[in-house]
Structure 1
């Protein structure tokens, strides 16, 4: 079910929306969006942070991430968690969705995928702090859950990254936290 509170009617091949002003939406519902089927960081877009003088976390939970094992070509499924403290720029969520979708036919190990995501977001936004955690579905009875983070060098965020890395995932897995 669509989370937006409006009804969509198809009338003579055109979508008409009621109950909400949707003039400013450029990607959502756009039938001309092209999905990349190979890794493509060029789809990522940013917008200005309206609160650059404040530290706050932005978190994304991406439960439908898929990539391919580079050896077997079998699909690997994961939930990708991205948390960052923005500086001047922020990633636009629709472009992030399209970017993550571009991994669909990309062959890469779990650890590589998670680190590539972080590196691309650092290059795009230059955040104060960022962490990316991939919780991959077990294959062969083993799950691989790589975590990486970054804090801007020479700042308190570098110390924060060191501390969070050392304290990351200190609790053992349970069947309920997947």
Structure 2
């Protein structure tokens, strides 16, 4: 960690504890905030389960609903959860295909927190009798995290889930 104290790092946050935080109704990656990882000396997973994600179909403009799972091994930064909530909410009026949404989310988080490893999985509710569950991942190139990403990609769906009518 830099010469800054943990408390000084928290002082940079604008959304956590702010009762007047505004929900943004248009795609807004700039709302993502980060805090220092106080345990950067070890690998560990952080997982977010976001069961109320909505976006719009880019063609019909009808709403799409999903649970978004975000798992990552942090490096120096952690994503602040309230900013993540507001960021995900910003997709509410955003039109993109399911596959695009999960890749955009992953790309924005990689840009903001530079994790060692990350995966994003969208479990969308069925539309027209078909559900789409895109999954993407990333590991820092040239490291064991890239190897981990390749392994997890190759073994991602070996044990498919039991679908229980979402």
Fold-level match, TM-score > 0.5? Answer: yes
TM-score, length-scaled by structure 2: 0.88
Report which structure shows greater RCO (CA 8 Å, sep ≥6). 2
Of 133, 142, 150 in structure 2, the residue corresponding to residue 162 of structure 1 is: 150
Give the alignment of 1:109-128 within 5 angstroms. Answer: 109-128=97-116
In structure 1, stretches of 5+ residues that fail to align are 1-23
Extract unaligned runs of 5+ from structure 2.
1-10
3-state SS, counterpart of residue 107 of structure 2: helix
Map 1:75-86 onto structure 2 (within 5 A): 75-86=63-74
Q: 1:29/1:122 Cα in 2 relative to 1: closer, same or farther (>3 Å)? A: closer
TM-score if structure 1 supplies the norm length? 0.82
Q: Kindly indicate whether the alpha-carbon contact (under 8 Å) linking 2:102 and 2:121 is maintained by their aligned counterparts in 1.
A: yes
Q: From the CA coordinates, give the structure whose radius of gyration is larger.
A: 1
Cα distance in 2 between the residues matched to 1:173 and 1:95: 30
Residue number in structure 1 paired with 2:26 = 38
Q: Give 3-state SS (helix, strand or coil) of 1:83's partner.
A: strand
Q: Deviations over 1:39-61 (max 9, x none)?
A: 00000000000011100000000
SS in 2 for 1:176: coil
- Equivalent position to 2:47, from 59, 71, 82: 59
In structure 2, do the counterparts of structure 1 residues 169 and 106 end up closer, same or farther at CA, with 3 Å as the change threshold? same
Deviation readout 1:82-132 (Å, 9 max, x if unpaired): 000000011000000000000000000000000000000000011000000
Contact 2:140 2:146 in 1 (8 A): yes
How many residues are matched? Answer: 155
Q: 1:29 to 1:153 in 2, by over 3 A?
A: closer
Q: 1:106 maps to what in 2?
A: 94
**Cα distance, 1:33 vs structure 2:** 1.0
Contact kept in structure 1, 2:16 and 2:83, CA below 8 Å = no
1:171 aligns with 2:153: no
